[in-house]
Amino acid sequence: MIITGLVLGIALGIVMQRGRFCVTGMLRDISLAHTWRPFTALLIVIAIHAVGIAGLTAAGIIQPEYDPFAPYAVIVGGFLFGIGIVLAGGCASGTWYRSGEGLVGSWFALLFYGLSAAAMKTGALSGLNSWLRDRTVNLTTIHGSLGMSVWWLAIPFAALAAGLAVYFLRTDSTPASLQAGWKKPLHLYVAAVLVGLLGIIAWPLSAATGRNDGLGITSPTANLINFLVTGESTRVDWGVMLVLGILVGSFIAAKVTGEFRVRVPDPTQTVKSIAGGTLMGVGAAWAGGCTVGNGMVQTGLFTYQGWVALAAIAAGVFVAAKIWLHPRPTSVPEAEQVPFESFNLNAPVLGSSAVAVATSTGLREVAPAVFALDTLGSVCPFPLIDAKEAMNELDSGESLRIDFDCTQATESIPRWAADEGFEVTDFHEVGDAGWQITVGK
């Protein structure tokens, strides 16, 4: 029966990869982009989980169990996890599916996430984990404390999520899209609905194998590491098959759409990925879950753990974004001139005498009033951050040509252009998992 975990994981990996589904970005955009549009997708997942789990419980199909609320562990752990996912460039599930896209930085983050989570749960740091996890209070669910049925929370919450989704869909700017047909990415809200439905299906499938839980990433990742180290076959449960399925599904989706390519990060990002993965494992172990286990499942159960953890994760993301998410410094000398033909940026031919002029901002004028920005190798959200900074340096009538290989930027950059009223004059693929977009100011 644990093979059902692999099947469901493959479906989840495909949906997350095609929907660019990343809780890190949803939380990050609240402060960086000042929008709640992406975060509404998480609310949709929680709402579907809440209604579905309540229904399955009422029907006697599943019987969720609740751990005692450990406030100190949840708050500290959630905050550390929030910092970690910003450094790593993705949350727990995001790190798994981005590994399937070929991001080597995510491989490092995933490895150290699993190692640190295993150390906290069953290894050398288990004492440190218990030190905070054992400090509990007599609270489990919000509706239990209020003495009411969970439906009094689930139905209004679902209505709120639906209302916000309708509002943002009606006020949405239409971004430029590169792919068409089956290669076109899923709308984020469609992906959210599918993730929520898969989360409901996960409960009875997982419970049938003796694992009384739904979607989860941290414990399965730690169990996988423990199995690889000790060879204990009992560690390979439904959850382990789930996370392996996410990796496989993401790889399949990325490969068939031309979005897979092995991308090696620079040394700075490698260090951040390792540090971020380590904080993710420690934080998720303390908090009792990640952005899936706490941010989607426990919130859908309306536990104190889930909602406090989500708030703590959001705080960690906010602090980390303020510290680390800034435009990258450039080292291009001012007034450096390079023959235009050497850039191969598909620009109009200006003649053999044309030059690409480097400005003090690091941009290169590769055609009259067209400036090039190279963000190749940068992980989300840096292509968008750099593009915003570069556009601020341009005058009206000038254009910015951006080269990038971050899959998420295929949505975020066109969305930003549409929201700001900029014109996308060109948008095309450059080989596997490479793109170029020209935005006019």
| Rounded-to-integer distance, Cα 88 and Cα 82, Å | 10
Q: Is 290 a catalytic residue?
A: no
Task: Tell me how far apart the terminal alpha carbons of the chain are, to the nearest angstrom.
Answer: 56
Q: Which residue has the tokens 């309306």?
A: 302
Could you say which of 22, 91, 290, 380 is catalytic?
Answer: 380
Please, where are the H alpha helices in 147-266?
A: 151-171, 188-207, 218-230, 238-256
| Rounded-to-integer distance, Cα 158 and Cα 238, Å | 29
Cβ density class 303-339: b for 16+ within 10 Å, e for less: bbbbbbbbebbbbbbbebbeeeeeeeebeeeeeeeee
Q: Which residue has the tokens 């953890």?
A: 309
Q: Are the C-beta atoms of residues 119 and 281 closer than 8 Å to each other? A: yes
**For residues 252, 256, 258 and 260, what is the CA-based torsion angle, rounded to 10 degrees?**
10
Q: Are the C-beta atoms of residues 298 and 53 closer than 8 Å to each other? A: no
Which phi and psi (to 5°) does residue 319 adopt? -65, -45
| Inter-helix orientation angle 104-121/126-133, to 10° | 70
| Rounded-to-integer distance, Cα 426 and Cα 399, Å | 11
Q: For Cα atoms 328, 333, 339, give the angle at the middle one, nearest 5 degrees.
A: 110
- Tell which residue, 302, 44, 55, 53, has the closest CA to residue 163: 44
Q: What residues are annotated to the active site? A: 380
